[in-house]
Amino acid sequence: MHRADVIIIGAGITGLSAALAWRAKGKKVIILEPSEQAGGSIRSVKDHQFLCELGPNTLMVSKPEVREFLESEQLLDHALDAAPHAKRRFLVHKDRLVPLPKSPVSALTFPVISTTAKLRMLAEPFMRSGVNRDESVASFFKRRIGPEAARELVGPFISGVYAGDPEKMLARFCMPSLYQMEREHGSLCLGALKRKKGGKGVPRRASRLVSWENGISQLVEEMVEKVFDDMRLSAPITSIQRELMGFVVRSPAAICEAPNLVMAAPAYESAQMLNKLGQPSPLLANCHYAPMVVVHLGVDVEAVRHPMNGFGALISRTQGLRSLGILFSSTLFPGRSPASHTLLTVFIGGATDPRALAMEDEELVRIAASECARLLGMTAPPVFRRVTRWEKAIPQYEQGHGEMIAEIEETEKMQPGLQVLGSFRGGVSLQDCILSGIGSVRD
């Protein structure tokens, strides 16, 4: 029997962050990972000299707690900052890549939305606040900034971050700060101005968009190295019991006991574990995940007319394209492609196009290459291609999400010492997952 202060099930970024945070408080940790490797959906693969991120591509470090945690663990010592032009983001409009405006003045000439839509956006401070707590993202922004701006500006963002359908995603979970801003100030514009005014004179460290020489997997490797002695891989959970001294978790790799148990796994896996504990969680078990296909294309740099001087492009469903977005991977960080070549990462599928998951590799590559040629002026076929499918890529914060969170919270109350964490709760970005993990520490 292995005894510890906390048992952590799952060695993805959430579980690893939790383990390091508990250890930093002098607590003994045991990590059980059911699969053969740590990292969860983080997968960095070198293929024919192209460094492909099969899952998350970058880490945005903007929250002070996350920065302090990463710095205290020396996890940013070898991080690479994205190229300066990564701050430039594009939207696709009539087969052209249009830079997102950087200021209210430049927004006046932004061609993606009409003059009528721009005038409607100016009326935002005068719009009434909503009363529906479960209002969709689409409804929220149609009401605040108008239907056209919501469709053309917000829709691509929801597709890019959540691979979701803005008509189904809930505003208060997908965009909690904007939702709260309306509730507090009655206007997004006025709320932003007040927050900016209130922050004057307060020093603020700039956000960092980072990766590593060997990709995001290098972050996982550095985290694993710190907790390796406390980790058991290939440790599927066979039973979880509540006993006098806390939780007893059994797996073929170890039998562990601790007063605290952190489940840091996908929703459907956590639901299965809660069943073993005698705490059925049907809403968690049925949490909807959007599928995603990631297509990597390696191209001769001379065959691409667009300078790719930005992070990438988001694509509205109104543009008639299959791709949700294109990432300029090799212009963001060095070492992503061999000399004289560039690496593009194309995303296809999501909640609004689930059938893409069943398409043949050749067809997916054809679509990705055709749409890159159309948007970037690619004049030659790719010399490298790789297709990765994720049946359950990103959890969807849709109708019923609030009830699912309430179900989890009730389970945690009934089982003191238990925490159920993951991207289905509190945000889907790597930074959100790290924050969730480090917030799990209890005295």
**Domain regions of the chain by residue span:** 2-42+65-71+217-287+398-438, 114-198
Local confidence band at 36 (pLDDT 50, 70, 90 cut-offs):
very high
Q: What is the pTM of this model?
A: 0.95
Q: What is the enclosing helix (H) or strand (E) of 262?
A: strand 260-264
Collapsed DSSP state (helix, strand, coil) of residue 174: helix
Query: How far is Cα of residue 204 from the mean position of the Cα atoms in its chain?
Result: 24
Confidence of residue 219 (pLDDT cuts 50, 70, 90): very high
Distance, in Å, from the CA atom of 62 to the CA atom of 206, rounded to the nearest integer, reads 7
Task: Please count the residues of the chain.
Answer: 443
DSSP state of 408: H
Mean model confidence pLDDT for the chain: 95
Task: Look at the domain 114-198 and name its fold.
Answer: protoporphyrinogen ix oxidase, domain 3 (1.10.3110)
In angstroms, the CA 282 to CA 383 distance is: 46
| DSSP structure class, residue 378 | B
Q: CA 432, CA 422: separation in Å to the nearest integer?
A: 9
SS3 label, residue 205:
coil
Q: From CA 408, how far away is CA 394, in angstroms rounded?
A: 19
Beta strands in 308-367 (DSSP E): 312-314, 323-327, 341-349
Structure confidence by residue, pLDDT tens digits, 311-368 = 999 999 999 999 999 999 999 999 999 999 999 999 999 999 999 999 999 999 999 9
> Does 202 have pLDDT greater than 60?
no
Whether residue 201 is predicted with pLDDT greater than 60 in this model: the reply is no
Q: How high is the pLDDT of residue 195?
A: 82
Encoded tokens for 229: 């002695």
Q: What value does the CA radius of gyration of the chain take, rounded to a whole number of Å? A: 23
Q: What pLDDT was estimated at residue 296?
A: 98
Give the Å distances, CA to CA, from 348 to 41, 74, 151, 322. 17, 35, 19, 6
Exposure string for 28-38, b = 16+ CB within 10 A, e = fewer? ebbbbbbeeeb
Has domain 2-42+65-71+217-287+398-438 been given CATH number 3.50.50.60?
yes
C-beta of residue 418 within 8 angstroms of C-beta of residue 151 = no
Amino acid of residue 209: L
Q: Could you read off the pLDDT of 145-154 as tens digits, one per residue? A: 999 999 999 9
Residue 323 tokens read as: 């791709």
Whole-number pLDDT of residue 114: 95
- Residue 315 and residue 155: Cα distance in Å, rounded? 9
